[in-house]
């Protein structure tokens, strides 16, 4: 299931197999909150089946849906890197199956499998860079209007 994730699409099978020993499977029922904006973060998720929504409060404390996460996509990567509080809330829209990588297990990967951890960090950096570019484009469009 991990090999279908966008983040791991070009990883060698041996690395995917090694990674699978560090992730847990979590099943989320519709409406389940995976994490809330402001919570301490200590894991990231990869959606294997189902669909999640990501919500963020605006300056008037009104909840806005900012993203929908489909199978193959990930969320929560920033907390694996920086350990900061969650920047948004994630909720299961339908019955969903997730692969969960905790920060603790990521640290074990760094200790036990340095080549795998380097590739994971590179993948996370690429993903965050892509998201920042997209957000910057949206911001420019917003400011022009």
Q: Is pLDDT above 80 for 7?
A: no
Name the residue among 63, 46, 47 with its Cα closest to residue 95: 47
If one counts every other C-beta atom within 10 angstroms of the C-beta of residue 29, the result is: 10
Separation of alpha carbons 51 and 31, rounded Å: 11
Domain limits of the chain? 2-144
Name the pTM for this structure: 0.84
CA R_g for the chain:
16
- Dump pLDDT digits (tens) for 21-48: 999 999 999 999 999 999 998 999 999 9
Listed in sequence order, the DSSP H helices in 21-102 are: 77-82
Domain over 2-144 is classified CATH 2.60.120.10: yes
């Amino acid at each position: 299931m991990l090999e279908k994730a966008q983040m791991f699409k070009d990883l060698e099978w041996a690395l995917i197999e090694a990674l699978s020993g560090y992730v847990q499977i979590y099943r989320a029922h519709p409406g389940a909150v995976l994490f809330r904006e402001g919570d301490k973060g200590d894991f990231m998720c990869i959606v294997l089946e189902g669909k999640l929504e990501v919500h963020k409060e605006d300056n008037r404390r009104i909840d806005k849906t900012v993203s929908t996460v489909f199978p193959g996509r990930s969320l929560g990567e920033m907390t694996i890197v920086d350990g900061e509080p969650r920047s948004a809330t994630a909720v299961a829209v339908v019955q969903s199956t997730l692969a969960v990588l905790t920060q603790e297990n990521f640290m074990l990967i760094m200790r036990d499998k340095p080549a795998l951890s380097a590739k994971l960090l590179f993948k996370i950096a690429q993903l965050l860079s892509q998201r920042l570019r997209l957000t910057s484009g949206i911001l420019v469009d917003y400011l022009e209007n």
